[in-house]
Structures are given as structure tokens and as C-alpha cells.
Amino acid sequence: MKIVLLIGLSVVCCWTQTVAAETMVERGRYIVEVIGACGNCHTPQGPGGPDESRHLAGGNPIEEPGMVAIPRNITPDMETGIGAWTDAQIITAIREGVRPDGRVLGPPMPFGMYRQISDRDVAAIVAYLRMVKPVNNQPEPSSYDFPLPESWGPPVDQVPEPDRTDEVAYGAYLAGPLGHCIECHSTPDAHGFPDLENALGAGGMLFHGPWGVSAATNLTPTGLSGKSDAEIKQIITTGMRADGSRLRPPMGFSYYAHLTDGDLDAIVAYLRSLPPR
Ligand code: HEC
Ligand code: HEC
């Protein structure tokens, strides 16, 4: 009788722990602050790294040929952030790239990938953003020398939860919709957009900044052939290769440092499953 009761209690205890780790705010925090690395664009960089006093309050200008994109203030400040937006409006901005006033948002926010964030995960992002400290800050508008598309695709209706028991499929979801690794790491097509059909994971996108120019590497088995799973995971979470060389920006290592072991395993399993390029 006592033993049964104890087993019963421990089951309840572990079950509550699992559920507790999955509250919407916690899930949202993990997406925004870890795999999604939203702050890598939306938090301004100071000389010593991200300026946490202005966490998510609008990032440094991103200058690429033909554009100066200025990440917006996504704190819940009522005047300059997204505090006055409804949940549905925030979700539409994230997944469809359309603001409440109807204006289409421009790159490099990865709308093509964010369209596939599940309904639950995008609701979790909103739940977490509402909890962030509001910061009053109005970034300058972005400017694009090319016409933005009329839309980034048809309206997003429903996106089901990914199957977390299928490691490769969940790795694809982490490296795609949530982490957009694969967007930076696919070869650009003639228009400069990553060619996810013919060159998925093959590398070659260029990133300009104070560091000069960095080129995203080939993450297909051809590119990663000489690297063990442990080295790949170390690179993702520290930006340091086994030979001691450091990766240049803009990859968000300081965010990825907090990835769970299970998620890192899933990402590596997915990269190993890509067609070699
Ligand atoms: C690669 C850089 C980048 C990343 C990563 C990124 N964003 Fe953005 N985001 C931008 C830029 C740039 C804009 C503004 C585009 C424009 O001005 O047209 C923007 C705009 C937005 C807007 C619209 C706000 C407004 O006032 O118009 C929201 C909401 C947003 N981002 C949320 C997020 C969230 C949540 C994440 C992480 C899941 C994220 N972003 C990741 C660059 C990024
Ligand atoms: C904003 C663009 C960007 C994003 C997002 C990004 N990367 Fe990278 N990544 C780069 C660049 C650029 C380099 C090369 C840096 C250098 O050579 O100094 C790189 C290098 C790497 C390397 C080193 C490979 C080698 O051969 O040394 C690995 C592994 C890697 N990225 C994996 C990932 C994974 C996994 C994710 C998602 C969790 C990711 N990257 C997200 C831009 C990005």
C-alpha cells in the first residue's frame, strides 16, 4: 500500500515537472532567447556584447547591399514596442511579415521560415514577449532599395505541433522554422535568397559587418565530414572549432549556448541526413 502510494507520488511529481518545463512562457523564453536568437537582431550590440538594458528594444542596423534593415522594438512598450498589439497581430507580424497597419516587413527577418512555426510555439513566443521588460525606444525606419514583395505567401492558417519523437524531423524544425540555421546556410539563388530546393545547407551566403565578410559554411555531410558530433555541438554552442579557431559573426553562439542536449542531438541528426552537396 505504502509502496504503491510512493510510486504514485513520484509519477505525479515527474509529470508535473515535465508539464512545468513546458509552460507557454518557458517555451516562449526558450524559443526567443535560445534557438530563435531573436535578440541577435533585436537587441543592440554594445562593445562588450548585447546591451541588456535595451533587451529586444531594437537592434543595430543590418547593412547588406541594397538595404539598411533596422530591427524593431519588440518589447511590450505601449508607445514604441508591441504592447498595444493584440496576440493575433503579433502572430501575423512574426509568421506572415505583415504589421497591424498592413505594411509588409522586409528582410532579413526570416519570414519564409517563421511561417512554419507551430500555432503553439508562436503563441508561446507572444506569451513570453508580453513578460519582457518594456523599453521605450523608437528605432529609425528600415530602408530597402528594392520593392518588398506584396506578401511573403498566403495567410498562415494552422500549423500543427512537430513530432518530437522523430529526431530528424524535429531537428529539421529546430534548424528551420525555429532557428533558421538553414536559411543562413543555404546557397543564395540569383535573387540572393537562400535556395532551399537545390542547395539546402550548402553554404555561401555572405554577411558584412565590422568583422569584414563572413561566409556561411556547408553544413551538409560533405562540409561536416571531418567533424565528430561532439565538435559540431561545440561549434554551435561556443563558436569555437576543435583546432581553436573562432567563427566570425553573425551566428548567435551566445544564445545557442543554452540549447538542450536533446535539441543539439536532433539538429546534428538532421544535418547528417541532408543530401550531400
Ligand atoms: C536576422 C535578423 C532578425 C531575426 C533573427 C529576427 N528578426 Fe524580427 N525583425 C527584423 C527586422 C530587420 C525587422 C524590421 C523589418 C522592417 O523594418 O521592414 C523585424 C521586425 C519584427 C517585428 C515587427 C515589429 C514592428 O514594429 O514592425 C516583430 C514582431 C519581430 N520582428 C519579431 C521577431 C521575433 C519574435 C524573432 C525571433 C523568433 C525575430 N523577430 C527574429 C530582424 C530579425
Ligand atoms: C545569421 C546567419 C547564421 C545563422 C542563423 C546560423 N549560422 Fe552557422 N554560420 C554562419 C556563418 C557566417 C558561419 C561561418 C563563420 C566563419 O567562418 O567565421 C557559420 C558557421 C557554422 C558552423 C561551422 C562549420 C565549419 O565547417 O566550421 C556550424 C557547425 C554552424 N554554423 C551551424 C549552425 C547551426 C546548427 C545553426 C542554427 C542553430 C546556425 N549555424 C545558424 C551563419 C549563421
Supply the pTM of this predicted model: 0.93
For atom 39 of ligand 1, which residue has the closest CA? 38
Cell of 44: 543592440
Domains and CATH numbers, the chain: 22-158 (no CATH), 162-277 (1.10.760)
Determine contact, residues 39/31, Cβ cutoff 8 Å.
Answer: no
Atom of ligand 2 nearest to the CA of 205: 12
Q: Are strands 212-215 and 206-209 parallel, antiparallel or unpaired?
A: antiparallel
For atom 19 of ligand 1, which residue has the closest CA? 71
Determine contact, residues 75/133, Cβ cutoff 8 Å.
Answer: yes
How far apart, in whole angstroms, are the C-alpha atoms of residue 186 and residue 202?
5
For the chain, 277 residues long, give each residue's pLDDT as a single digit of tens: 344 444 444 444 444 444 445 799 999 999 999 999 999 999 999 888 899 999 999 999 999 889 999 999 999 999 999 999 999 999 999 999 999 999 999 999 999 999 999 999 999 999 999 999 999 999 999 999 999 989 999 999 999 999 999 999 999 999 999 999 999 999 999 988 899 999 999 999 999 888 899 999 999 999 999 999 999 999 999 999 999 999 999 999 999 999 999 999 999 999 999 999 9
End-to-end CA distance of the chain: 61
Task: Find the ligand nearest to 221 CA.
Answer: 2
How far apart, in whole angstroms, are the C-alpha atoms of residue 169 and residue 7?
34
Atom of ligand 1 nearest to the CA of 252: 5
Ligand 1 touching residue 42 (CB < 6 A): yes
How close is the Cα of 109 to the center of ligand 1, in Å?
A: 5
Task: Find the ligand nearest to 127 CA.
Answer: 1
Cell of 167: 529526431
> Rg of the Cα trace of the chain?
20
How close is the Cα of 214 to the center of ligand 1, in Å?
A: 22
Ligand 1 touching residue 91 (CB < 6 A): no
